[in-house]
Structures are given as C-alpha cells and as structure tokens.
Amino acid sequence: MNAIFPTGFTAPTALYLSLFAVTLVLHAVFMHYVLAGSTYLAFGRLMGPRRCAVCGWQSILVDWLPFATGLAITAGVAPLLFVQILHGREFATANLLLSHRWMAILPVLIVCFYLLYLQKSSWLARRRWVWRTVVAALACSGFIFIAWSWTENHLLMLDRDAWAPLYESGALRYASPGVLPRLALWFFSAFPTLAIELVWQGRLLGLDVTRPPAAAEVVLGLSPVRRLALAALSGVAGMTAAGGLYGQTLTAADREALFGPLGGPWLTIAITGLVVQGGTWLAAAFCNRMPHGLGVVTTIGWLATLCGLVAARESIRLVHVDIATLAERHATAASISGFPVFLTCAALTVIAIVWCVVAVRAGLAR
Ligand code: HEM
C-alpha cells in the first residue's frame, strides 16, 4: 500500500472504495447536521423560552431537523451497500456479535424521528417549557446512542482477536479504549459542519450573517454569527483533542497506514482544512459577521476536512482486511450488469428531486 487511497488497488476495488468514500461523505453532511443540530437544540432549550425565541438558529433547527434526519438515513443506504461489498465478512460479523444491541439503533432512530416531529407540534408548544427541554434532550441522546453504535460496530469489525471472546462471553457490548475518543472525534466534527451549513441555510431563510447583526438578535451577549463561531471553534478544538487521544489507541500498523503514503496525504488535507476553518471562524467572530468570500473559504476548508477524514478513516481499515484476496469478488461484483440501470435511476431520481424543489419554490413564491 504505497499509493494514496484509493489508488494502488485493482480497478474494481478502487471503484468501490471511491464510491464508498464519496457516499459516506454525503451521509456525514446530513448526519452531522442531525447530531450537532439536536445537541445544539438540547443545550439551547436550557436557556429558557424568552432567549430561545430570539435564537433564529433554534427555530431553523426545529423546522428542519426531521427532514435532515430523513436525508441522513437515505444517504446512509449507499455506503451501507458498498461497505458490504468491500468488507462484508467483517461488517456482518460485528453486526451479529453485537446482536440486539446493534439492532436497537432501528427503534431508537424511529423514536428520535417522532420526537423531532413532536418538537415541531403545536401540542408540545402548549405544554410547559420543561417538556420541550425533555423532548430535545431525549432526541439528542438517541442520536448520540446511534453514533456510538456505529463507532462500536466499526471498531469491532477491525478487531478480529475480540470476536471469539465476545461470542463466548455473550456480551452485547464491545469495550475498547478507542471507542470513546473515536466517538468524540465524530461528535465534535459535527459542529463545524452544522455551523457552515447554518450559514448557507440562514442566507436562504432570511438569517443573513454577511451583514452586521441587529441588537435584537443577540443572545447571552453573542450575535448569531458568534454563536455559530463558538459552535464551530469548540468543534475544531474538540476534534483536535479527541483525534490526539484516538491516535494513542492506534496500533503501529494503523499509524503506518495513517501517516504513510496511503492515508498521510488525506490526513494532511484534513488538518489543513481544520486550520483553515479555525482561522476563518476566528475572523468571523472578530468581525461579527461572515462576508460571502469568508463563507466560501470556510466551506472549502470544511469539505477538505470531511473528505480527508473519511479517506484517512478508510486507510486504517484497509490494513485490517486482506483486500487483495477480495479483488476477484470485487471484479465479479463490478461485472454484474446493472451499472447503466443504476446510472439511469440515479439520473431520474436527481431530476425528480430537482423538479420537486423547483415546484415547491415556485409554489412558495406564488
Ligand atoms: C441519524 C442517525 C445516524 C447517526 C447519528 C449516524 C452516525 C454515524 C457515525 C458516527 C458513523 C461513523 C462511525 C465510525 O467511523 O466510528 C457512521 C457511519 C456509517 N453510517 Fe451512520 N448514522 C446514522 C444513521 C445511519 C443510517 C440510518 C444508515 C444506513 C441506512 C447509516 C449508515 C452508515 C454507514 C454505512 C457507515 C459506515 C460504516 C463503516 O464504514 O463501518 N447511518 N454513522
């Protein structure tokens, strides 16, 4: 593995690795919004009704979280298919070992989904404020549980030595020193994503941070853009700390993959993106607004971090599976026809989605 991910493999393997990475980035774009958004809301609700009414970000989150959850789930399906083509044996083994504990993500996801709708309801709006705090906290805890489950499942996949003892013990939990820092890394990485997504969403929905803030928008001494900067910078700091801690749990082979030719360039891209984001959010907090150009640079930095993170993540996994032995299986999978059908369906779906968005926008304008 002396070439940068995903090159250096046979063409079908490289194709599936690329498709997996790209679709996982897409999943993260929405999943981060849900994870950080529900956390932002759960903590925001503690400020009480008067302050929450002033915070435009909370209103946007209450409105959009159910839709974003739908997108996160839908976008999770594609990497779920590709991970099974690439690492079917490891993925299925971890699923089976974690058993009910793994399957629990489904009911939890359904409950969280309904809690987000409950949060929007006029029924809840008529109850005492404390119930809105409780509902937000429950939804947030549920999403953190789901993120924890994915992390635990991922690490169990990589730890073959743990499979037999875990099966024998019948335990439904895989305890490893890497779980908590890795979960923290994903958790904190969600905040810079949420912050930049809210910048763009706010511009579409009338909460424009390119202009100086009005006094009425200030909550606890923080303007809307400074609240986002605080969230993003806490995320950047948290990622740095969690990344450092997680790095200490890696084996020598993992480190070689992460810092070597396979993952090293991606790690550099991720860290560069993180530095860019840190700088631009500091500048935005200092100017008390985020001009358009600064927003574009932050977005580029954020995308670099996300892509770098996903590719570096996959580089580590590749040292745990003998991917060369699977080359034939990948070639067979790639040769099974259906790719043109997939492309046609994908194109039709994109056209349908664009048509829906255009139709709704036109309807709203009327
Ligand atoms: C909205 C709730 C969800 C949250 C908070 C969430 C969170 C996460 C996290 C944190 C990871 C990275 C795990 C790691 O690398 O340690 C992940 C990976 C992943 N998620 Fe999600 N997820 C959610 C829903 C879903 C759903 C519903 C699907 C499938 C339809 C899905 C599919 C995937 C896949 C395929 C991966 C990659 C697994 C791997 O490479 O081992 N996720 N998710």
Q: What percent of the chain has pLDDT over 90?
A: 89
Q: Is 80 exposed, middle or buried (0-12, 13-18, 19+ CB in 10 A)?
A: middle
Alpha helix (H) residue ranges in the chain: 11-44, 49-54, 56-103, 105-120, 122-125, 129-158, 160-169, 179-205, 224-248, 252-259, 264-287, 292-318, 327-335, 339-365
Domain containing 261 equals 11-335
Same domain, 147 and 133: yes
Q: Quick one: 199 and 57 in the same domain?
A: yes
Provide the mean pLDDT of the chain.
95
User: In this structure, how many other beta carbons lie within 10 angstroms of the beta carbon of residue 90?
Assistant: 22
Between 336 and 276, name the one with better pLDDT.
Answer: 276
- Read off the pLDDT of residues 51-103 as tens digits, 9 standing for 90 and up: 999 999 999 999 999 999 999 999 999 999 999 999 999 999 999 999 999 99
- Does residue 364 share a domain with residue 297? no
What is the rounded CA–CA span in Å between residue 170 and residue 177?
Answer: 20
Same domain, 98 and 29: yes
Residue 208 CA to ligand 1 center (angstroms) comes to 31
Percent of the chain with pLDDT over 70: 100
- Residue 353 shares a structural domain with residue 302: no
> Does 91 reside within a domain?
yes
Q: Burial of 208 by CB count in 10 Å (0-12 exposed, 13-18 middle, 19+ buried)?
A: middle
* Separation between Cα atoms, residue 157 and residue 153, nearest integer Å: 6
- Per-residue confidence (pLDDT) for residue 335, from 0 to 100: 84
Do 124 and 196 lie in a common domain? yes
Give the residue carrying structure tokens 């930095």.
301
What is the reported pLDDT for 112? 98
Give the pLDDT confidence score for residue 2 in this predicted structure. Answer: 83
344 and 328 fall within a common domain: no
Ligand 1, residues 25, 149, 150: which to mutate, most atoms within 8 A of Cβ?
Answer: 150
Tell me: do 104 and 206 sit in the same domain.
yes
Cβ atoms of 78 and 23 within 8 Å: the answer is: yes
Considering the domain boundaries, does residue 240 fall inside one? yes
- Residue 337, pLDDT > 90, answer no
Asked if 145 and 92 sit in the same domain, the reply is yes
276, 361: one domain: no
**Banded model confidence at residue 37, pLDDT cuts 50, 70, 90:** very high
Nearest CA to ligand 1 atom 34: 80
Predicted confidence band of residue 42 (pLDDT cuts 50, 70, 90):
very high
Mean pLDDT, to the nearest integer, of 297-310? 98
Distance CA 299, CA 148 (A): 27
Averaged pLDDT, 303-330 = 92
On whether residue 195 sits in a domain, the answer given is yes
Q: Are 314 and 4 in contact (CB under 8 A)?
A: no
- DSSP class of residue 261 equals T
* 152 alpha carbon – ligand 1 mean position (Å): 11
Give the confidence band of 338 by pLDDT, cuts at 50, 70, 90. Answer: confident
- Pocket of ligand 1 from Cβ distances under 6 Å: 24, 27, 31, 34-35, 69, 72-73, 76-77, 79-80, 83, 109, 143, 146-147, 150-151, 154, 182, 186, 313
| Same domain? 124 vs 247 | yes
Q: Are residues 299 and 366 in the same domain?
A: no
Taking the chain, what is the end-to-end CA distance rounded to the nearest angstrom? 57
Give the number of domains in the chain: 2
Q: CB–CB of 103/176 below 8 Å?
A: no
Going by pLDDT thresholds of 50, 70 and 90, the confidence category of residue 3 is: very high
Query: How far does the centroid of ligand 1 lie from the alpha carbon of residue 149, in Å?
Result: 9
Residue 82, in any domain of the structure: yes
Residue 76 Cα to ligand 1 middle (Å):
6
- 194 in a structural domain: yes
- Among protein residues, the one whose CA lies closest to atom 41 of ligand 1: 154
Instruction: Read off the pLDDT of residues 179-196 as tens digits, 9 standing for 90 and up.
Output: 999 999 999 999 999 999
Is residue 334 very low, low, confident or very high in pLDDT (cuts 50, 70, 90)? confident
- Look at ligand 1, atom 24, and give the residue with the nearest C-alpha: 73
Nearest CA to ligand 1 atom 18: 150
Residues pairing with 219 in the sheet: 222
Residue 4 falls within a domain, yes or no? no
Mean pLDDT within 260-279: 97
How much is the pTM? Answer: 0.94
Q: What is the mean pLDDT of residues 190-205?
A: 97
| Shortest-distance Cα residue to atom 8 of ligand 1 | 147
Atom of ligand 1 nearest to the CA of 91: 41
The pLDDT of residue 74: 95
Q: Above 90 in pLDDT, residue 1?
A: no
Task: Indicate if the alpha-carbon torsion angle 206, 211, 216, 222 is positive or negative.
Answer: positive
pLDDT of residue 116: 98
pLDDT digit string (tens) for 76-86? 999 999 999 99
